[in-house]
Structure 1
Amino acid sequence: MQANIFHQSSWATTAIGTPIELYKKTHSGSGFSEQPILMIGGVHGDEPEGVRLANELLKWLQENEKTRSQMIRPWILIPCINPDGFAKNQRTNSNGVDLNRNFPSSDWNSEAKAPRYYPGPSPGSEREVQALVKLIEDEKPQLIVHFHSWEPCVVYTGSPGQKAAEILATGTGYECREDIGYPTPGSLGQYGWIEHKTPVICIEEQESIDLDKVWPHFRKGLELLLTGGSI
């Protein structure tokens, strides 16, 4: 591991004690004087495309750190925030909670259209969400990007995120839009934007796509986002 990339093998733990990894490079010397971009994979454990994208991105960041070939924005990366769900190929965490409905945004509610969307007994009840909320409060990222799979699109919550979303969609042919098409109370997007005015981007790769295609789809956009000009 490159010394300049900070790695916490157990940054947080899940409800059953599984460690959650975090990587970051936010100290001065990056060439960019700004708040970090926070990137997250594996919010839903049955979406391996997002975890694959996060891990491939990490490899690229590590390689760039060795070669110093490009200046990179300050960044934080959590490859898999829901390792228990990921291990079981299930959407929810070990408590059966959809983490992307458990954030303590003002629009959180207890209703769920199906068990897989169960928002938890109360807003922010889950340890994974609590850890992420604290990280957002402490680090104050300028942008949050989380990696999912469903129908291909790039969705931004908060109009200031439009430019970054368009950058991330570069070369994919995927639609870039402000609304996913249905309500998501208690989601990371709602929490980040409503509570902090931090724009949040949700990358939706094609569900069940060949995993070897995920990084090639989004590599150009992610590289542009992390090395480019103003966002």
Structure 2
Amino acid sequence: MEIKRPLLLISNDDGYQAKGINCLIDMLKDIADIIVCAPDDARSGYSCAFSAGIPLRLNLHRKEQGVEVWSCNGTPVDCVKMALANICKRQPDMVIGGINHGDNASVNTHYSGTMGVTIEGCLKYIPSVAFSLCDQHADADFEPLRPYVREITQRVLNEGLPKGVCLNVNFPLVPVYQGVKVCRMAFGTWYNETEKHHHSRGYDYWWMIGHYRNDEPEAEDTDNWALHHGYIAITPTQIDVTAYQAMDQISSWFNV
């Protein structure tokens, strides 16, 4: 009897042509069948957005033994939804976002299209992981990530994850990793987020830019601290955003 290999659904927010996602395919294609459905161009910062007002299209770019690469004109979340509904012949064993060009630590978790991919998989009760490297260059070197990406993927395939929990994995840009830290998300703030310009035709316009500030730099249990000190940061991230610690206080307002 033929034994089916695990099936991975991979997407990103940098586009199907990005080096990070293609390196990820190369790292994992010997341990699983792979379906890629990724945006047809960069969609950074789209978080969990999906397209409600435009028609979506799929294009097949590559098909070989164990690997299919598709693009979609929508958001990263659109890509996951479209793949699950129209490409995958069976439910994937795992959804992976990345490898992202740039980190997705701290509050970037909430803006990241890479994490949007992972959260969408988790919402579908599929074990899901996001991989990101703290290097935004198009030709970033992803090879040092290979053993860690393979080990984390294999462990999740073998052991699964708790319901409603996905993993946000960020790699520092350092010559040698100091190890792995399982840590929480740091509190941080983006500031000076817009840059104003004046167009020669007489109107003002703005670019979204911004600078990040770690608001708890001394805390040693955060993803920011781990990355700053050369550690791979793994942050278990949950879908349930209920603030349980605040429920009693809010209930007291209404004598509940």
- TM-score with structure 2 length normalisation? 0.39
The structure with higher relative contact order (CA 8 Å, sep 6+) is 1
Query: Which structure features the higher share of helix residues?
Result: 1
Bigger radius of gyration among the two: 2
